[in-house]
Structure 1
Amino acid sequence: MASRTPSLSLRLALGFSLAFFSMALLVAGIQAMLAERFGHLVTRMSMQGQTEDIFDGFVLDAERRVVGVELEPADSVGFDDFFANLKYRVLDETGRTVASSEADRRSMLAGRSIAEQPGFFGVVRLDGRDFFVGAWQREVHGRPYVLQLARSDRFELLAREALSPAITDTVLLLGTLSALIFALAGALAVRSVLRPIGVVESAARNVGGRNLAARLPEDRVPAEILPLVRAFNGVLQRLERSFQEQERFIANAAHELKTPLALARARVEAGLGGELDRAGVLRDLDVMSRQVQQLLNLAQVADPHAMRRCRVRPSDVARDVLDHLVFRAHRSDITLHLQESDVDVMLEADYGALFVLINNLVENALEFSPPGSVVTTLLDAESLSVEDSGPGVPIEYRTQVFERFWRAPGQVRSGSGLGLAVVREIAVAHGWSVRCGESATGGASFLVCWRP
């Protein structure tokens, strides 16, 4: 049974949810860590802020000595209402308390000299209770004063008990609203992403053999999916081109076979009158047989993946081809010559396809070579070439000779028009190049290069 793959929308929704809850856990973890590890630091920073209000409230006498503290009403509330949990002392350079938030004027750091107190912060036990006590120093008109500020754990506990319910309710409310907004934004984002994909899917469903010219729309497609759409359009373009080439190929093949079939049928219906008629029918059958064979060769090399590649020595293949064509060459009074280099060349190639390639090149040379001439096959480490002494190929036609069913204007020789097209297909399938040129004797030269 095929496994079910989650849809893209479900994956995006799960991703949004996972991201939201991961962020929530991360924030909660950071807050817990800060509360646990930096609680004392936060308390100290808070108390240090309170010292500024006390320093600003110093009362000086005529000799500019601190004799007391007058706080603003808003700043004195804590010391008035929570005197048992929040208190301060101001000491001069002799250690004498010159101002206090309560009647008790004892130093809260009795075990430390006045010089050791500035910068102190820690937990001190006062009257049987633990207080956070800090000491800060400031000079007033050249005289140093030390401010001792104490805050009890009870003060913080009362504040926490008062604020915790409000904070909890606020966090829950904000968390719920955030989750709803996150879900809505995620749904809108998923819809905006999937809408152009739906348009592309609808267009893809309409593509078929009758309308290969259709292309998938690329407008408003997400950047991550656009390369896939463009690649698919490229496939459609190649399919359209291949389909058009196939249609032309079928039409040309039918046209090429129609004439010799009609002639052979006419001769058979009229009755063979002698050896000339019999020879003509056999000649037409030979032409059709060769065309059919070239069509089969072309169909076989059309798919490069169907080739069976192995280690092949091209010189051995060339010898097999020349042995196969030696009778035809002898009948036409043409000499076949193989010229090899001293280097032993090995290729990764399909033996049958390489045989057809060399065979078609040599057959083409035999077709256009005059009697008494030589067709030379040259082999080296880089390439293979077949040269003849025929009329050659004009420069303007040297690229067209590899097209299917192409014949030079005015040519009256029989032929399928497929031999060189098959050569090009085999070369391309193996990653080789092939081109047409001129031989040393003025004839045609076909060069196949298998080294880049």
Structure 2
Amino acid sequence: MSLSVVLVGATTMVLAEPFHRFMLRHATGDAAEALARRVLFDPQGRPTGFDETKIERWLLTTFGDEAQIRIIDAQGRVVFSPVPGDATVFHGEGDLGRGTRSFAFERNGVAMHGAASEILRGGPRWYVYFAASDRLMVQMRETFSQPALFQGMLAVGLTFLAVFLVATHLTLQRMLRPLSVAARHARRITPQSLDARLAGDDLPVEIKPLIDAFNDALNRLQTGYQAQQEFLANAAHELKTPLALMRAEIEQDPPEARNPNLLEDIDRMGRQVQQLLHLAEASEARNYAMEAVEPLTAVAEVCSYMERAAQLHGVQIVATAEHREDGALPPAGPLRWRADRGALFTLMKNLLENAMQHSPPGGTVAVHMGHDGFTVTDEGPGVASSELDRLFERFWRGEARRDIGAGLGLSICTEIARNHGWTIEARRGDVGLRMEVGFGLQPTDAAGPGQRNVRAADTFPAPR
């Protein structure tokens, strides 16, 4: 709009002179016609002057030679002049005609613009001649018209610009507010919520094609993602059967004829297939059923399940839980989480398994539970700082890895945490590696009847 104001101003300055000439010709014609409508006649039908109630006399006599007014007959003779005794004819008889006609001429070396207008009255034909000098018009333009024009243009342009900017800002802000809402909804769409779509009912019609195209892209993406997940799950299911048959065939041979490496390879492949199946299940948000979970019970179940593995590695699992005592009334409730019980079991099992595999014999794997998350710490050699971010990559295995896993355990933990709205991070501890799972602003459930508060002194080892 600023550019438009500048262009209009520049165009006006360039066309000011031609426009002035054009308007001068038309102005003299309009003046002649206006005078012709105000002519007075005597009883004999001859013009005697102008109606001074409509046209004051000083307007006819003040400008002297710069503005000339005459009433002439059809032969070009002056029958009336505002200045007594001035009967100068400043245009010839041959130029008379019907209607109104403009012309230019010189009088005493001064350029003039004039017009002749026929007086529409029955009887003899009479004409009103009006002429004004160019120098008078130029002086009036430069003294009054042009400054007023430029000042008016500047005032109108600035006012228009200010009103336009304010109105446009408010209008666009209101019109595009639904677009901001749609953008917020789009940012919430993840691979786990590809079934969500953007609503374009309240958006301007110009934006709706973009929203429709985005939703179509989500449809294609969802179809491809579902096909990928289904292929992963189907492949894992299909591979379990031949692996089981292969193991059965090998076990039919006498023990001394068996190749132990084959059974280890089959077990490794079976573990990888099982992890692929868990990964496919963990990536689907619809597989989760959220409920209130008591962490003490959940951790006890995991520890019981991991008892044999802990004995094989020669490590001990110790779990602690904090109690939030802030003096509030009523007292703070017990430690409660909201999670999918099965997914939480898999998440803790994988973290404990990973910690046990890297802890030395006789070491301790510590689980600490809180209102805003839990941690799993081992006493192993730890991980280099440059490799911390790679721990959660699929199929990545560190150089010091001792187990026969497929490198999918922490990837499964990542998917479970993401679908719960949690965060999972790996940090270097004072000794070993520290895995932190944070719940963010997830609300905790209030205490139920008969629930006891868990204090920091409440610990329990893995069952033996």
Return the TM-score normalized by structure 2. 0.48
Normalized against structure 1, the TM-score is what? 0.49
Q: Which has the higher contact order (CA 8 A, sep 6+)?
A: 2
